[in-house]
A and B are shown apart, each in its own frame.
Chain A
Amino acid sequence: MSPGARGHHLRVAWVEWSMSLLGLALLVVAFAAALSVASVGLPSGVRARTSGALTCLIGLAGVAAGASALLGDSLSVAAPGLLPLSSAVLSVDPLAGFFMFVVGGVAIAAGVYSVGYAHPDEDAHDGATLPTGVSSRTVHAALPLFAAAMVMVPAAGNVTTFLVLWEVMALLSLLLVLAEHRARPEVGGAGVWYAAMTHAGLVAILLGLVALATAAGTESFAGMREAGPGLPSGVRTVVFLLVFAGFGSKAGLVPLHVWLPRAHPEAPSYVSALMSAAMVNLGLYGVLRVGFDLLGGGPRWWWVLVLAVGALSALYGVLQASVATDLKRLLAYSTTENLGLIFVGVGAAGMFAADGDSTLAGLLMAAALLHTANHAAFKTVLFLGAGSVLRSTGLRDLDKMGGLARRMPVTTALFGVGALAASGLPPGNGFVSEWLLLQGLIHSLSGEVEPDVVVAIAMPLAVGAVALTAGLGVVTFVKAFGIGFLARPRSPEAMAASEAPGTLRAGMVLAAVGCAVLAVAPLLLVRSLDRVLLTMSPIGQESPVHGAVMLELSGISGSMSPVLIAVSLAGGAALLALVVGRLGRRQPRRTALVWGCGGTRLSPRMEYTATSYAEPLTRVFDDVLRPEHDVDITHHVESRYLVESVRFRQRVPDRVEARLYPPLVAGVNWWASVARRLQNGSTHRYLAYGLIGLLLVLIVLGVTS
């Protein structure tokens, strides 16, 4: 291509860009990202606001771009020469649009929230408080860049662009995870785990996509889409397994979930929200893009595998979440749980697509995507809420919280909204997508296609796994909300809590409004998923859900109305409160001491804690969790028969991690020590390596060509 033609091509591209809202929005993202790099030079007082505003702007642009793509707009543009040996290609279709929309939404809330997160006295450097690092130049510049990278990842149109954006996203998130490394030593360890896992994932994705590009003879997604379904099945299987492993580690699927419960608690809370509610979804995006779009679906056993991994992740995640006492660790495990549920939907959709039942495949895929949006909304509220508590009290340990409802009423109410949604109960938004998922699964044996033995065995177990997940999810969030926010404070820090400042509340309110809209009007989003489903060729062509007030399934019988349930619940409660209040008008409610078995005032130390709350579950699932107990009994000096104090400590380590990873790490270490022998510092030896390497290349070339 001559330089003139290239210039012409670029100019045409720019004109096309600025014509559509979609292109404009992407330009805004790029512009804001550039500004955030420039904002490094600003004084510290303005920097937090600039960083938050830019993140918010990128989020808005992401939502605008995503919405216009969901409404049918599309964009494909190439900038040759921007990347070495390749060209930067952006192409946005509805599938990309959906993920840009979700990521953008999370970024808006997190951006607003981040403005007030650093303590006002943090910049004073008076020695009273150690600067935690959340208001450093790097963190302020990295936050909008991270949001921009996440918005752009789904827009990538070829392998090189995708991998570059993916790696930029991973590095920036790593930088943000490490923000508070000076304040707490654990942050460093979490960073190492995260860096190792995300790069191992990158290697798997890289190998998979390169194998696919080599076999297809092109690295553009458009070309791979045409060649993908016709490739030899061995290549397709290798590609799928590699990308599933790579993207699965980003999505936090068991057994590659180990970085989530470490990195999410240690990152600043709005970064946790961005990672847990937005970034993990891009793992899902990768699986959908490669599995359903580029490869055009696959044999059934791929999707049985996806379903099994999803179910295992959901169960293991929720089980760990239900016994976790660190609030942010609990939320991180809940992310594994929810992504597991989403992958159950994706796996089942793939199975039915392979069987040719497009109705069920479409329904299950719509359920999975709706749950993705729902999870993003409620997980944002929950992480931001946990961040407000952490900022106000310094506590992440549920065993020390309590009584926050009186001290932080707004945060409590908003966390309650998120917890309701996360527990999958009506009238929360999580309920709608879990209901759709269950409908897809239970119609499997009475669908239009005659089921076979695999379906007949897999589906009841999947329903059981989803149901147990839902049940334990309720325990988890009753515990998180009840123990964390209700009753009386269990520590002086919780006693001294105060409400979060304005921007923090505003960020949480934005995310909670997202939850509420998705809860009462899920059809707004579900309708626009029709176009997303069309981009995945093996999935059905008709819209899986229709109706306005009622949610009615197409092709199979089933209906439910989230709006009417919410309205009747609220109306019924208001009416009852009115009637009963009127009946007892002469009897105002009196506050009295809680009953203490005949007199003594109960101290907050006697309240149930998060550990004791989950104790029955810890016992029931003893074989899976294998908790570690320490009981220290201190005896009186005078007599062994008198006990001075008993100290009980319980830890529930991650058993998957403890089993799987130490041998792996030991293996890597052994390999590294073997490799070290090759490298003893002698220049002669290195020259010899070079010579041998060159000879080998020449021999290989001579033999093969």
Chain B
Amino acid sequence: MSGPALWSVVGVVIQVLLVVLGAPLLVALMRQVRARLEGRAGAGLGQPWRDLRKQLRKEPIAPDGSTVVFTAAPVVALSSALLIVAAIPLITTTSPLDDVADLYAVVSLLLVGSVAMALAGIDTGSAFGGMGSSRTITVAALAEPTLLVAGFALSVRVGSSNLGSLVEHAQRAPSVVLSPATLLAAAALWIVVVAEAGRLPVDNPATHLELTMIHEATTLEYAGRDLALVELGSAIRLTILLGLWGNLFLPWGVATTVTPGALALGVLVMVVKVAVLGAALGASEVFMAKWRLFRVPELLAGSFLFGVLAVSSSFFLA
């Protein structure tokens, strides 16, 4: 294998390892920021990993009457998340898998994860599982138009929906980052990131009241190693969403060449970006309450409007 090809493979491996190891830390960071702002000490950065270790040792339980869908869902969800991590430009744009999945394929793969968990929620046969499943999938369905239209706005200037090209183009022409089209797309996608990641004001990841749950209700019945997979999967999903948003709208620092130095810089910049975005998201949640479920579609309709405006402004103001 030639040098650049080898290094691009190394880049992908580093990217996957970084996200898998770092995702629980991101969750911990967001909880910690929130705890400090609320005047609590917080559990520390290592807590999600300690939780995962504990869950891996405990006995998994499947509800009576459930099928293989219930046990396979966490595996499928995590597998789709890992495939996305390997294909998208987080620390480097030179992933050999970059051509395999463009922005639209990545969006569909994210949906695969949601659908797997939604089916698992139904499969439990409990009212809570069905309720969570129905809500998760409704929010995901209504977020879809914004995602695709905002992606359209971003790909107009590049002529491609390939994520690597989008990031590289933005690096080469920094002025587009401040263009109205990009700013509108950024606003639209931020709302979708919040909705897809199940954060406030759409969903409250820390809730313990079943009737208000969206994502958590589908995972209520999981225990042991199944729960570990679910939690790791949703942490990776959050990292993907924040990392992708960060790289699309703040593209600097992502390695476009495959040298060890560029990769190291890419890792560092990625960690900083995701940590800052995560801390900002965590801090903003302190000042917000969860919205009623039926106000969420209004939020998403607003984000769709931003998306359409982004496409039109990329045409009319170009």
CB of A513 within 8 Å of the partner chain: no
CB of A261 within 8 Å of the partner chain: no
Option from B133, B137, B221 in Cβ contact (under 8 Å) with A595? B221
Q: Which residues of A contact B80 (CB under 8 A)?
A: 569, 572
Whether the pair A435, B221 counts as a contact (CB closer than 8 A) is no
Option from B76, B86, B138, B221 in Cβ contact (under 8 Å) with A594? B221
CB of A680 within 8 Å of the partner chain: no
Whether the pair A487, B124 counts as a contact (CB closer than 8 A) is yes
Asked, given contacts A451-B315, A565-B109, whether A584 binds B225 with beta carbons under 8 Å apart, the answer is yes
CA distance A568 to B100 in the complex (A): 10
Looking at the complex, which of B151-159, B249-257, B262-270 is the stretch in contact with chain A? B151-159
Option from B61, B72, B118 in Cβ contact (under 8 Å) with A482? B118
Q: Which residues of B contact A616 (CB under 8 A)?
A: 134-135, 138, 293-294
Q: Which residues of B contact A606 (CB under 8 A)?
A: 126-127
Option from B64, B137, B144, B156 in Cβ contact (under 8 Å) with A468? B144
Asked, given contacts A558-B161, A580-B229, whether A460 binds B127 with beta carbons under 8 Å apart, the answer is no
CB of B180 within 8 Å of the partner chain: no
Whether the pair A564, B140 counts as a contact (CB closer than 8 A) is no
Option from B64, B115, B135, B141 in Cβ contact (under 8 Å) with A425? B115
Interface 0/1 of B83-123, CB less than 8 Å to A: 10010000000000101111011001101100100110011
Q: Which residues of A contact B129 (CB under 8 A)?
A: 594, 608
Whether the pair B148, A463 counts as a contact (CB closer than 8 A) is yes
Looking at the complex, which of A382-390, A470-478, A643-651 is the stretch in contact with chain B? A470-478
CB distance from B158 to the nearest CB of A (A): 8
CB of B283 within 8 Å of the partner chain: no
Asked, given contacts A446-B156, A569-B83, A592-B64, whether A486 binds B119 with beta carbons under 8 Å apart, the answer is yes
Asked, given contacts A474-B140, A616-B138, whether A569 binds B145 with beta carbons under 8 Å apart, the answer is no
Q: Which residues of B contact A403 (CB under 8 A)?
A: 65
CA distance A589 to B70 in the complex (A): 12
Looking at the complex, which of B28-36, B43-51, B273-281, B306-314 is the stretch in contact with chain A? B306-314
Option from B138, B221, B316 in Cβ contact (under 8 Å) with A620? B138
Asked, given contacts A608-B122, A616-B293, whether A456 binds B315 with beta carbons under 8 Å apart, the answer is yes
CB distance from A333 to the nearest CB of B (A): 16
Option from A573, A596, A604, A614 in Cβ contact (under 8 Å) with B75? A573
CB of B241 within 8 Å of the partner chain: no
Interface 0/1 of B130-172, CB less than 8 Å to A: 1101110110111111011101100111111110010000000
Asked, given contacts A557-B165, A565-B83, A573-B79, whether A590 binds B125 with beta carbons under 8 Å apart, the answer is no
CB of B56 within 8 Å of the partner chain: yes
Whether the pair A593, B63 counts as a contact (CB closer than 8 A) is yes
Option from B57, B82, B138, B297 in Cβ contact (under 8 Å) with A475? B138
CB of B244 within 8 Å of the partner chain: no
Looking at the complex, which of A129-137, A270-278, A436-444 is the stretch in contact with chain B? A436-444
Asked, given contacts A425-B112, A487-B66, A572-B83, whether A591 binds B61 with beta carbons under 8 Å apart, the answer is yes
CA distance A590 to B145 in the complex (A): 41
Q: Which residues of B contact A619 (CB under 8 A)?
A: 294
Whether the pair A587, B152 counts as a contact (CB closer than 8 A) is no
CB of A694 within 8 Å of the partner chain: no
Asked, given contacts A451-B315, A557-B159, whether A594 binds B126 with beta carbons under 8 Å apart, the answer is yes
- In chain A, positions 656-693 with a C-beta closer than 8 Å to chain B are none
CB distance from B193 to the nearest CB of A (A): 16
CB of A183 within 8 Å of the partner chain: no
Please indicate which of the listed interface residues A481, A483, A569, A589 has the most CB atoms of chain B within 10 Å of its own CB: A589
CA distance A426 to B109 in the complex (A): 7
Q: Which residues of B contact A604 (CB under 8 A)?
A: 125
Whether the pair A561, B100 counts as a contact (CB closer than 8 A) is yes
Number of A-B contacts (CB under 8 A): 274
Asked, given contacts A426-B109, A557-B165, whether A589 binds B61 with beta carbons under 8 Å apart, the answer is yes
Asked, given contacts A445-B156, A460-B308, A607-B126, whether A474 binds B111 with beta carbons under 8 Å apart, the answer is yes
Whether the pair A446, B159 counts as a contact (CB closer than 8 A) is yes
Q: Which residues of A contact B75 (CB under 8 A)?
A: 573, 576-577, 580
CB of A560 within 8 Å of the partner chain: yes
Option from B58, B100, B133 in Cβ contact (under 8 Å) with A565? B100
CB of B71 within 8 Å of the partner chain: yes
Q: Which residues of A contact B191 (CB under 8 A)?
A: none
Whether the pair A486, B122 counts as a contact (CB closer than 8 A) is yes
State the majority secondary structure of interface residues on B: helix
Whether the pair A587, B141 counts as a contact (CB closer than 8 A) is no
Whether the pair B59, A587 counts as a contact (CB closer than 8 A) is yes
- In chain A, positions 554-604 with a C-beta closer than 8 Å to chain B are 556-561, 564-565, 568-569, 572-573, 576-577, 580, 583-584, 587-597, 602, 604
CB of B259 within 8 Å of the partner chain: no
Q: Which residues of B contact A47 (CB under 8 A)?
A: none
Asked, given contacts A577-B75, A587-B224, whether A445 binds B311 with beta carbons under 8 Å apart, the answer is yes
Whether the pair B76, A573 counts as a contact (CB closer than 8 A) is yes
CA distance A179 to B31 in the complex (A): 63
CB distance from B104 to the nearest CB of A (A): 5
CB of A696 within 8 Å of the partner chain: no
- In chain B, positions 279-318 with a C-beta closer than 8 Å to chain A are 293-294, 297, 304, 307-308, 311-312, 314-316
Q: Which residues of A contact B78 (CB under 8 A)?
A: 572, 576
Q: Which residues of B contact A589 (CB under 8 A)?
A: 59-62, 71, 224, 226
Whether the pair A442, B108 counts as a contact (CB closer than 8 A) is no
Whether the pair B148, A557 counts as a contact (CB closer than 8 A) is no
User: How large, as a class, is the contact surface on chain A?
Assistant: 35 or more
CB distance from B160 to the nearest CB of A (A): 4
Whether the pair B124, A423 counts as a contact (CB closer than 8 A) is no
CB of A506 within 8 Å of the partner chain: no
CA distance A406 to B99 in the complex (A): 40
CA distance A613 to B101 in the complex (A): 31
CB of B220 within 8 Å of the partner chain: yes
Q: Which residues of A contact B72 (CB under 8 A)?
A: 573, 577
CA distance A496 to B158 in the complex (A): 57
CB of A701 within 8 Å of the partner chain: no
Whether the pair A613, B115 counts as a contact (CB closer than 8 A) is no
CB of A615 within 8 Å of the partner chain: yes
CB of B69 within 8 Å of the partner chain: yes
Option from A425, A445, A446, A561 in Cβ contact (under 8 Å) with B108? A425
CA distance A438 to B152 in the complex (A): 9
Whether the pair B56, A608 counts as a contact (CB closer than 8 A) is no
Interface 0/1 of A447-470, CB less than 8 Å to B: 000010000110111011011101
Whether the pair A590, B138 counts as a contact (CB closer than 8 A) is no
CB of A424 within 8 Å of the partner chain: yes
Interface 0/1 of A275-314, CB less than 8 Å to B: 0000000000000000000000000000000000000000
Whether the pair B159, A405 counts as a contact (CB closer than 8 A) is no
Whether the pair A591, B62 counts as a contact (CB closer than 8 A) is yes
Q: Which residues of B contact A316 (CB under 8 A)?
A: none
CA distance A472 to B140 in the complex (A): 9
Option from A564, A568, A602 in Cβ contact (under 8 Å) with B125? A602
Whether the pair B152, A442 counts as a contact (CB closer than 8 A) is yes
CB of B67 within 8 Å of the partner chain: yes
Q: Which residues of A contact B104 (CB under 8 A)?
A: 435, 438-439, 560
A-B contact pairs, 19 of them (CB 8 A): A425-B112, A438-B148, A464-B307, A471-B144, A487-B125, A556-B160, A557-B160, A557-B162, A558-B102, A558-B162, A559-B162, A573-B79, A576-B79, A587-B224, A595-B63, A608-B129, A612-B131, A616-B135, A617-B138
Q: Tell me the B residues contacting A by CB distance below 8 Å.
A: 56-67, 69, 71-72, 75-76, 78-80, 82-83, 86, 97, 99-102, 104-105, 108-109, 111-112, 115, 118-119, 122-131, 133-135, 137-138, 140-145, 147-149, 151-152, 155-162, 165, 210, 220-221, 224-226, 228-229, 293-294, 297, 304, 307-308, 311-312, 314-316
Q: A463-B311, A487-B65, A593-B63 are in contact. List 11 more A-B contacts (CB 8 A).
A: A431-B108, A445-B315, A446-B158, A478-B119, A482-B118, A486-B67, A576-B78, A584-B225, A596-B126, A606-B126, A607-B127
Which are the 8 A-B pairs with shortest beta-carbon distances?
A608-B130, A471-B144, A471-B141, A572-B79, A482-B122, A467-B148, A594-B63, A557-B160
